[in-house]
Each structure stands twice: as C-alpha cells, then as structure tokens.
Amino acid sequence: MAEPTARITTVERDGLVFDVLDAGPIDGEPILLLHGFPERATSWRLVAPQLHAAGYRTIAMDQRGYAPRARPPRRRDYRVSLLAQDAVAVIDAVAGPGGAVHVVGHDWGAIVAWALAQHHADRVRTLTAVSVPHPGAFVSSLVRSGQLLKSWYMLAFQLPVLPETLLGRVRSASDRQLRHAGMTRADVDRVRTEIVESGALPHALGWYRALPFNDPRDMRARVTVPTTLVWSDQDVALARWGAEHTVRWVDAPYRFVELNGVSHWIPTQAPDALVEAVLDRVGTPAS
C-alpha cells in the first residue's frame, strides 16, 4: 500500500470528477464507504466517526450521478461495471495502483461493493455488504420468494419522466414512499436537499435504468474475499431469502448479521450495530 501523504478531496476518471470525504487517521487502514439510493456520502456520518475512533481512515465517495461533476447523460453510462471502475479509481488514489482497501457498501453501494469483490478481488481486503445480498442470490430470490413484489419500484423507475415527477416535484408522494420505507423525517429532508434540489435525481435513477445494459453473467461470479452481510428484518425492499442464501456464493470466511427491528436505512438507524459488524470483519489495526 502506498504511504499516505495528503487528504483526498476529489478523484477523476474518464473526465468525471468524484467528490470524496476523507477522514480519520491518515495512516489508518482505509475503508471505502459506498452509499446507496437516494443518498450521498453523508449517509455515513454516524458510522465514520466510530471507525475513526477504532483507528481506521474512511473514504466516502459521492458516486456517479450523485457527484455534480460526474453525471453522464446516457442510461448505459450507469452500468455496474463502470460504477465498480469508479470505485477502483478511488482505491488507486488512497492505496496506490494495485493496492487494496476494506469495502463497505449499502443499498446500491452494496451492489458496487459486490462487483468489486467479484471482479476486482485483488483490490478488496474485506467486504461488508449492507442490506443487499450477493447478486446471484438476489436474482434467485426473484423466483423463490416474495422479492419480485418488493422490487416493483425497479420496474417503475424504468419509465421516463414519471419517476422524476413523483419523487422530485410531488413532495408529499415522494415523502410518503421514503417514510414508508422507514426513513426519518430529518433524512427525508436531507434527500430533498442533497438529491432533488442538487439535480442528482435523474442521474441517480440512471442506475436503475441501466439494468438492461448489465451483463447477467457478471452477477453470478463468486466472491473469494472475507465477507459479512448485514441485513435488517424490517427492510421493505430486500426479502429474507436472498440474505439467507448469500452464503452459497461466498468462497471465503463469511458471516451473516441480522438486525431486528431495523428498517432498510441501517447506516443512519443502527450505526452502532453496523460498526460492530464492520470492525468484526476488518479486525483490529496493528498497534
């Protein structure tokens, strides 16, 4: 790993500029934090300080479509393979070319984290996926459980214009959906500011609209890095079946952590439990 010399505030790749929150001991082992939809790097605000206290450096990036200077226009520009390559560029910046970091991802950030572990395993020291199971387990869950019904919104987001109208312009409708999913009023207001008012919403929806352009064979790759899946039993979007069967897709030390009474928004609603799971996976920094 390259010796850390300075804080990272931005990372550039293929003309896109990603904003980065780099904090904690600069010489600590780096942990890459990948946010989900509809949130940004600030979704880790309750998790990161606890990781710093344990001696780790955190790198939380605003991903493609969220960072103001990384918003390409086409649907195919949001394929998972490209999102993973963005994350690799950040790993290069913090750990040097060929270096590796611990990776923690929530929601869509977990999908990117899984892709890193599947296709860039040499860049991932450990993986902690939050809420979302291994992609292979998720696909199987669509026909083996009630996951398809829970994923109705993924199909709805394929429609042009209408999702932006409902989520961006009709405040009461979007607020009700987020509140139904368990988000607090304060975090709904944060979504309004950081996603809708910042202009990120149409590009964030691009992640869903790029689904037809992803190679389904990529989703079935097995994982060979030490992995933890943290899932909550009040998640309205992810069913239990995929979470319980993720173990079948990991050929490495694996742990499944179930949080009871917690909604989908684990990083902000159960940060202590999540930090415990992350620290259990990454281990204790050398003294």
- Which tokens in the block code for residue 174? 């979007």
Q: How many CB atoms lie within 10 A of CB 189?
A: 12
Cα–Cα–Cα angle for 265, 105, 189, rounded to 5 degrees: 35
d(CA 159, CA 209): 8
Q: Give residue for tokens 């689904």.
A: 211
Is the backbone peptide bond immediately before 38 cis, with ω within 30 degrees of 0?
yes
List of domains in the chain: 10-282 (3.40.50.1820)
d(CA 151, CA 135): 14
pLDDT of residue 172: 65
Q: Give residue for tokens 């030390």.
A: 253
pLDDT of residue 285: 46
Residues of the chain predicted below pLDDT 70: 1-5, 168-173, 284-287
d(CA 159, CA 161): 7
d(CA 282, CA 103): 9
Q: What is the pLDDT of residues 260-283, one digit of tens each?
A: 999 999 999 999 999 999 999 998
pLDDT of residue 5: 63
pLDDT of residue 1: 53
Residue type, 44: W
pLDDT of residue 287: 32
pLDDT of residue 155: 84
Taking the C-alpha atoms of 156, 162, 163 and 167 in order, what is their torsion angle to the nearest 10 degrees?
-140
Provide the β-strand partners of residue 31. Answer: 58, 102
